Amino acid sequence: MVFRVKHTTDYHYEEPVAEAYLELRLKPLDRENQTILEHQLEIDPSEKTSEYQDYFGNRVAFLSLPFQHSRLTIQSHLSVKTHPHDLPEESVSLTVQEVRQIQTAALPFVFHYLQPTDMVKIGREAGQWAKRYFRGAATLRQALENVTNAVHEGFEYRQGATEFSTDLSIVWRERIGVCQDFAHLMLSILRTAGMPSRYVCGYIETHPPKGTDDKRLIGSTATHAWVEIYVPGQHWVAIDPTNNCWCGPQHVAVSYGGDARDAAPIHGTFKGAGTQSMNVQVDVCRIGPAADA
């Protein structure tokens, strides 16, 4: 499939800010299941960016606005071709016990993806779920599908129910959240179970065309979040707990990290006395048919 993506972030300030410095993780990487055809940033007030690669391999555009301004608009225009997400059957057919034994050889590479973070805390609930779903004799595929289904069925998706900084313990207790929370829940369970995993921020198709079998996925009006698990054979496999499915051609991965803070599309600081408001709009429109099927 070929998609055109428009991602707009609009900041309004109660009082003009003196300066702003931001990291933009808005340019995806070419991967086995996606090819970036074109990407362009539009920034108002207009200012050049400098680029670098962060610890997780993300492309980061650094934006510096060392002057007074009362509004900031950042638009990311992306054209991307997605391909089928074929699962590495030999890897996901292994038992959990076999996977754990094999992964010990990859520990230096995956060590970071086994650690808790401020946003992905390890606790009693994660431990209980890890023991329940990642039994040694279960195949990795069974374990991943079962825990994804359990998160999907056991937690209610409610837009606006939580904030970016909401502690994961609250989500465990209230059983309500959004895609960011469900990705963090999955990561806490996976890492407790010894499965190296990372947070993914990206997009999903907003409105599938009529006449297709593709359904509209939950969370399609903003940036979306899911998880990737590192499996034997040096593969990352992606699964979406919000929609209870393996990721496919409707998913476009943009940035990665240990949690949502690492992979945030826009992160930065502003110097000023007033408050700010932010409005984000995302539109993912299919402009080409299914490809490479």
Average per-residue pLDDT in the chain? 93
Question: Which residues fall within 8 angstroms of residue 104, CB to CB, at 6 or more apart?
Answer: none
* Distance of alpha carbon 239 from alpha carbon 93, whole angstroms: 16
Q: What's residue 219's pLDDT?
A: 79
Q: What's residue 289's pLDDT?
A: 65
Per-residue pLDDT averaged across 44-60, rounded?
95
Instruction: Give the position of tokens 């301004």.
Output: 69
pLDDT digits 0-9 by tens, 184-224: 999 999 999 999 999 999 999 988 777 677 778 887 778 99
Q: What's residue 285's pLDDT?
A: 92
pLDDT at 293 over 60: no
Q: What is the DSSP string of the chain?
A: -EEEEEEEEEEEEEEEESEEEEEEEEEPPPBTTEEEEEEEEEEES---EEEEE-TTS-EEEEEEE-S-EEEEEEEEEEEEEE------HHHHTSBHHHHHHHHGGGHHHHGGGGS--SSS---HHHHHHHHHH--TTSBHHHHHHHHHHHHHHHSEE-TTSS-TT--HHHHHHH-EE-HHHHHHHHHHHHHHTT--EEEEEEEE-SSPPTTSSPPPPTTTTS-EEEEEEEETTTEEEEEETTTTEE--TTEEEEEEESSHHHH-SEEEEEE-SS-EEEEEEEEEEEEE-----
- What is the share, in percent, of the chain residues with pLDDT greater than 70? 98
Q: How many CB atoms lie within 10 A of CB 116?
A: 17
Q: What's residue 272's pLDDT?
A: 83
pLDDT at 144 over 70: yes
Per-residue pLDDT averaged across 22-32, rounded?
96
* Distance of alpha carbon 208 from alpha carbon 249, whole angstroms: 12
The domains found in the chain, sorted by start residue, are 2-82+264-288 (2.60.40.2250), 89-263 (3.10.620.30)
Band of residue 22 on the pLDDT scale cut at 50, 70, 90: very high
Q: What's residue 292's pLDDT?
A: 41
Per-residue pLDDT averaged across 103-115, rounded?
89
- Stated pTM of the model: 0.93
* Distance of alpha carbon 187 from alpha carbon 86, whole angstroms: 22
Per-residue pLDDT averaged across 84-99, rounded?
95
Band of residue 108 on the pLDDT scale cut at 50, 70, 90: confident
Q: What's residue 209's pLDDT?
A: 76
* Distance of alpha carbon 116 from alpha carbon 122, whole angstroms: 6
Per-residue pLDDT averaged across 71-79, rounded?
96
